[in-house]
């Protein structure tokens, strides 16, 4: 049995209401913790919380409590998401930096990460090859490994491929390219296909010059942040996801959409270039004119072709089930 600390600096705890609202990194940390616990390892999950709690044989400890008296704990391995400062509290532990986001030199110096990386020389796990290439070689990591993110339990269920409603979904929280997409919808989609709807999720405020009533008259709806269960239900009803691919180091949203039979329309930028295969589990377009053409394509797609691409999306996502990814983690932990 290995004593493992999975460190996630986000604000969440083990209450049901908190776990329903957690984001991607938090959900990945919790699901990795559950799976490693099922492999008979002793798992502690640290977070920005106030109380000690237990769930699924996992102990949830406040990060501030661990840092206050680190000598109380004998962690063999520390897996830390985007945070290297925890490593200096445990000089004898094996250290793994689980890198989800870009780590620019200037930013890591400002946030105090750079010194702790140089001091501890952790193994780094990149969530995509794109992120590996993006990260400076001046960090001198002990080892560099690429282990992709995985589908969490919320998105691993059997589905039936059926005819979908003309709903197109934007669910990434970043809004780069969103204003252009909305303008494209108003000018090119709604005049031709006035039954098609554009659902914008994960963004709580309207960043456009348009009033809410005007946008809704064009079938554009800001739905804000919703739970994983509600998000899955939206995906199961929708036709396709729009994810342009700006600044994506992995894009778990696209993978989750695929797992619901939802093809992804993208510019194929950043990590989306690794996830989306054109005309297989989605479509890669070059500009907003081609994006509008591909959205309108779904209004005349044959039932045979629609079923094919939805089955492809579902099949592609199965490669990223945690049961298939966990063995890469287990090999690393040996």
CATH class of 3-150+322-333: alpha beta
Say if residue 106's pLDDT is above 90. no
Of 102, 100, 225, nearest to 171 by C-alpha is 225
Length of the chain as a residue count: 334
Q: Residue 218 CB: number of other CB atoms within 10 A?
A: 19
Buried residues in 245-260 as b, exposed as e (16+ CB within 10 A): bbebbbbbbbbbbbbb
More confident residue, 258 or 173: 258
Say if residue 63's pLDDT is above 80. yes
| pLDDT tens, position by position, 6-45 | 999 999 888 766 676 778 899 999 999 999 999 999 999 9
Looking at the chain, the whole-number percentage of residues with pLDDT higher than 90 is 81
The pLDDT value given to residue 163: 84
| pLDDT tens, position by position, 65-95 | 999 999 999 999 999 999 999 999 999 999 9
CATH class of 154-320: alpha beta
Domain with CATH 3.40.50.2000 in the chain: 3-150+322-333, 154-320
The pLDDT value given to residue 274: 94
More confident residue, 105 or 326: 326
Cα–Cα dist 112/79, whole Å = 18
Contact 161, 261 (CB under 8 A): yes
The pLDDT value given to residue 160: 82
Residue range 188-206: mean pLDDT, rounded: 93
Residue range 190-197: mean pLDDT, rounded: 96
The pLDDT value given to residue 203: 87
Q: Residue 299 CB: number of other CB atoms within 10 A?
A: 13
Q: CA 244, 247, 251 angle in degrees (round to 5)?
A: 70
Stated pTM of the model: 0.93
The pLDDT value given to residue 16: 62
Q: What is the mean pLDDT of the chain?
A: 93
């Amino acid at each position: 049995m290995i004593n493992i600390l999975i460190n996630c600096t986000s604000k969440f705890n083990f209450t049901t209401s908190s776990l329903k609202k957690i984001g991607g990194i938090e959900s990945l940390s919790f699901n990795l913790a559950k799976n490693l616990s099922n492999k008979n390892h002793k798992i502690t999950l640290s977070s920005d919380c106030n109380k000690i709690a237990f769930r699924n044989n996992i102990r949830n400890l406040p990060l501030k409590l661990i840092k206050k008296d680190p000598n109380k704990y004998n962690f063999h391995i520390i897996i830390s998401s985007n945070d290297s400062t925890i490593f200096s509290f445990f000089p004898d532990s094996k250290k793994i930096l689980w890198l989800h986001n870009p780590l620019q030199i200037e930013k890591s110096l400002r946030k105090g990460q750079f010194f702790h990386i140089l001091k501890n020389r952790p193994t780094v796990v990149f969530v995509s090859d794109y992120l590996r290439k993006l990260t400076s070689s001046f960090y001198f990591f002990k080892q560099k490994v690429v282990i992709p993110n995985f589908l969490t339990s919320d998105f691993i269920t059997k589905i039936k491929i059926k005819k979908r409603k003309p709903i197109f979904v934007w669910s990434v929280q970043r809004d780069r390219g969103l204003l252009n997409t909305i303008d494209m919808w108003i000018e090119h989609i709604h005049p031709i296909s006035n039954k098609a709807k554009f659902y914008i999720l994960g963004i709580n405020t309207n960043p456009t010059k348009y009033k809410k009533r005007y946008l809704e008259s064009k079938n554009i709806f800001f739905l804000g942040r919703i739970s994983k269960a509600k998000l899955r239900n939206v995906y199961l009803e929708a036709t396709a996801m729009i994810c342009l691919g700006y600044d994506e180091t992995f894009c778990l949203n696209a993978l989750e959409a695929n797992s619901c039979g939802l093809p992804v329309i993208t510019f194929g930028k950043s990590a989306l270039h690794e996830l989306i295969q054109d005309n297989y589990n989605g479509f890669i377009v070059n500009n907003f004119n081609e994006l509008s053409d591909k959205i309108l394509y779904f209004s005349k797609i044959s039932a045979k072709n629609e079923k094919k691409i939805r089955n492809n999306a579902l099949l592609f996502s199965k490669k990223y089930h945690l049961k298939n990814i966990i063995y890469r983690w287990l090999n690393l932990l040996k």
